[in-house]
Amino acid sequence: MKTLARKLCSPVLNMFEQGNEPYSYKPLNRTVLNVVGALFMVLTIALIIIVPASLAGKWIPIGIFGCAGLVCLIVGGLGSDRAVSKIWGSK
């Protein structure tokens, strides 16, 4: 199941898993990345529920927070150690 999910999410994962440079990985980084992704998704859902549908400008923060949360959850859940350290900027 994980290999199928990695195939589906490969466009996102490939951006962060490329490179040969050394990296510094800590398991806490993955945990924090998953928590941040979950918080962004909660914020996205809250915006969808709370902000009235008549406001056209609500879709901008929903799109930004939703994409950020989705990328964090994909990299945190399916990404390699290199991808997690690259998203944090650890070298």
d(CA 3, CA 26): 23
In a domain, 14, yes or no: no
With 70 as the cut, is the pLDDT of residue 91 above it? Answer: no
Q: 60: domain range?
A: 31-91
Number of domains forming the structure of the chain: 1
Predicted pLDDT of residue 89: 81
pLDDT one-digit tens code per residue, 28-75: 999 999 999 999 999 999 999 998 888 888 899 999 999 999 999 999
In a domain, 13, yes or no: no
In a domain, 69, yes or no: yes
User: How confident is residue 25, by pLDDT bands cut at 50, 70 and 90?
Assistant: confident
In a domain, 3, yes or no: no
In a domain, 44, yes or no: yes
